[in-house]
Amino acid sequence: MKVNQSENVAAVDVEMEGAQGCKVRWLVGQEDGAPNFAMRQFEVAPGGYTPKHHHPYEHEVYVLEGTGVVLEGEVVHAISPGDVIFVRPDEVHQFRNTGAVPMKFLCMVPNSAPRPYPVRPECARPNDTTFTTETQRHGDRNREFTAETRRRGEQSK
């Protein structure tokens, strides 16, 4: 059994192309003897985002603090503490913090998840027209969300 405070786990910058203002803590993983899933905690700074990307496996997200949006392809969903998000395999997604405080969420993925992840380069910029249009259309309902990354220095498996 492993019992630990999340704040005791080092937060490292998300180094995936297209990410800005994101950190990740690998709370539980293969190194801890977890055979199936990894649990990560992401923290996205105000105005920060993860790249718009996809991968061939699912992941589950639980929002702890802050507000933002999660992009499901071109569709924008507002998110806040207590929200649960299921990202299907190969679904294009991105998390963005639209609030004034850091947004934190837990994200679980299979330990067998390949890295690096395919990034949608045409969508990785923070000022893309899709996000701007959706933000204007939905106003204050928009909140941001972040997704996958890899540990600093981790190589493709």
pLDDT above 90 covers a percentage of the chain that reads 57
Whether residue 157 is contained in a domain is answered as: no
Whether residue 133 is contained in a domain is answered as: yes
Whether residue 130 is contained in a domain is answered as: yes
pTM above 0.95, yes or no: no
State whether residue 32 is helix, strand or coil: helix
Whether residue 123 is contained in a domain is answered as: yes
pLDDT at 145 over 50: no
Strand 75-79 with 68-72, pairing: antiparallel
Whether residue 93 is contained in a domain is answered as: yes
Q: What is the CATH number of the domain that holds 130?
A: 2.60.120.10
Comparing 61-75, 90-104, 142-156, the range with the smallest average pLDDT is 142-156
Whether residue 150 is contained in a domain is answered as: no
pLDDT at residue 117, as a whole number: 53
Q: How many structural domains compose the chain?
A: 1
Whether residue 71 is contained in a domain is answered as: yes
pLDDT above 70 covers a percentage of the chain that reads 71
Whether residue 26 is contained in a domain is answered as: yes
pLDDT at residue 115, as a whole number: 57
Are 26 and 113 contacting, i.e. CB atoms less than 8 angstroms apart? no
Domain carrying residue 98: 6-141
Cα dihedral sign for 27, 98, 140, 92? negative
Give the H/E segment covering residue 134. Answer: helix 129-138
